Chain A
């Protein structure tokens, strides 16, 4: 049966469902479950081998987008072209690196009828890895100390201050645990080449890894909070399995963050609980996490709620979810004809 959302056309990025997955596919699953299968999903991809492009049961059509380094002009031009073909209702960007541009062009997108629900540039900046410790201090949130690295010469200062092991992180993605100077230097070089400056050295906190997916209302409160304990972690530090848990302290932490920032839209808190039960925020991601479908399966469909909010609906806060709900990720060899890959590569559309 068609829902009132039938015919909505929603653009989603992050179709890279690989071993370091983007959230796009999980977001799409949640959207279809929450808004009905008769919505139209437009995938946005940066590379022709992003697996989601070829998941035709989830993605109706995919368009290639210019890389974020091409700037806001190129992005707006491309999205205007796509909108002329598709008449987009809303877009959910799912990459940290593209958010800056999307936030800047959000008013222009609205003028052509495309809604978004994004934090402000100031909100984006405040939780940046390079600013996180300062933000934590200011708002009484426990954040491990860090050191911003702008050259290899900064490393000895960082290690003197933070000791080993320490975590070397890229500006947007990737992190390595370094146990000595050689490992730290190698990680620094890889991350500066991939993501630019600063590379961040963060004090290593030993403990249990917990993530919280949340949806900020933009007024200092949250509409949804779902905590997940990682049960299986890949070499890249990604959750390959996890379980929803119930802990008041985690909910309070997310509420404290929303109160401090008045965050609008999706975000994820990455947390370590140490042996003394202290909660350290090691990262705050300004978007849905790749495991967001678990939140929907547990009873809080954040992507669907975000779309409703972007359309001006009054969305009531969720007040419960199912604990003990597990996700177990898997890999799947998808077979596609070379013609499809060729079409995507040559024309930037499929």
Chain B
């Protein structure tokens, strides 16, 4: 699950997709997570960091994470992952 390489993000949460011209306003949290994802940090590490820093339980974070990934997919910000089935 990778963020597209060319997605531009700013510290204040602004996200621009240069391939489509779409832009989005995220909050500071979104910006931090996007930067981590762009840097190749895996989801487990990102979630562990959030659990350490914020008052949230693991079950709630998992639900929010799923929602976050759905939003990224809808916004066309994720690299397509090809399934190589047998």
* Residues 218-239 of chain A, each 1 if its beta carbon lies under 8 Å from chain B, else 0: 0000000000110100000000
CB distance from B15 to the nearest CB of A (A): 11
With a cutoff of 8 Å between Cβ atoms, the chain B residues found around residue A208 in the complex are 20-21
Whether A342 is near chain B, meaning CB under 8 Å from some CB there, is no
CB distance from B80 to the nearest CB of A (A): 11
Whether B8 is near chain A, meaning CB under 8 Å from some CB there, is yes
**Which residues of chain B (2-25) have a CB below 8 Å from chain A?**
6, 8, 16, 18-21
- Which residue of chain A has the shortest Cβ distance to B17 in the bound complex? A245
CB distance from A226 to the nearest CB of B (A): 13
- Check if A246 sits within 8 Å of B8, measured CB to CB: no
Whether A324 is near chain B, meaning CB under 8 Å from some CB there, is yes
- Check if B8 sits within 8 Å of A245, measured CB to CB: no
Whether A243 is near chain B, meaning CB under 8 Å from some CB there, is yes
The main secondary structure of chain B at its interface with chain A is: loop
Cα distance A242–B20 when bound, in Å? Answer: 11
- Which residue of chain A has the shortest Cβ distance to B19 in the bound complex? A247
CB distance from A244 to the nearest CB of B (A): 8
**Which residues of chain A (318-349) have a CB below 8 Å from chain B?**
323-324
Cα distance A246–B16 when bound, in Å? Answer: 12
CB distance from A130 to the nearest CB of B (A): 31
**Which residues of chain A (238-277) have a CB below 8 Å from chain B?**
242-243, 245-247
With a cutoff of 8 Å between Cβ atoms, the chain A residues found around residue B6 in the complex are 246
- Check if A324 sits within 8 Å of B20, measured CB to CB: no
With a cutoff of 8 Å between Cβ atoms, the chain B residues found around residue A231 in the complex are 21
CB distance from B77 to the nearest CB of A (A): 14
Cα distance A245–B6 when bound, in Å? Answer: 11
Task: Choose from A210, A242, A245 the contact partner of B18 (Cβ within 8 Å).
Answer: A245
- Check if A324 sits within 8 Å of B19, measured CB to CB: no
With a cutoff of 8 Å between Cβ atoms, the chain A residues found around residue B20 in the complex are 208, 229, 245, 247
With a cutoff of 8 Å between Cβ atoms, the chain B residues found around residue A324 in the complex are 8, 16, 18
* Residues 20-50 of chain B, each 1 if its beta carbon lies under 8 Å from chain A, else 0: 1100000000000000000000000000000
- Which residue of chain A has the shortest Cβ distance to B21 in the bound complex? A229
With a cutoff of 8 Å between Cβ atoms, the chain A residues found around residue B19 in the complex are 245-247
With a cutoff of 8 Å between Cβ atoms, the chain A residues found around residue B16 in the complex are 324
6 nearest A-B residue pairs (beta carbon): A229-B21, A323-B18, A245-B21, A243-B21, A246-B18, A247-B19
Would you list 22 pairs from A and B whose C-beta atoms are within 8 A, ordered by A residue?
A208-B20, A208-B21, A210-B21, A228-B21, A229-B20, A229-B21, A231-B21, A242-B21, A243-B21, A245-B18, A245-B19, A245-B20, A245-B21, A246-B6, A246-B18, A246-B19, A247-B19, A247-B20, A323-B18, A324-B8, A324-B16, A324-B18
Known: A229-B21, A245-B19, A323-B18. 17 other contacts (CB 8 A): A208-B20, A208-B21, A210-B21, A228-B21, A229-B20, A231-B21, A242-B21, A243-B21, A245-B18, A245-B21, A246-B6, A246-B18, A246-B19, A247-B20, A324-B8, A324-B16, A324-B18
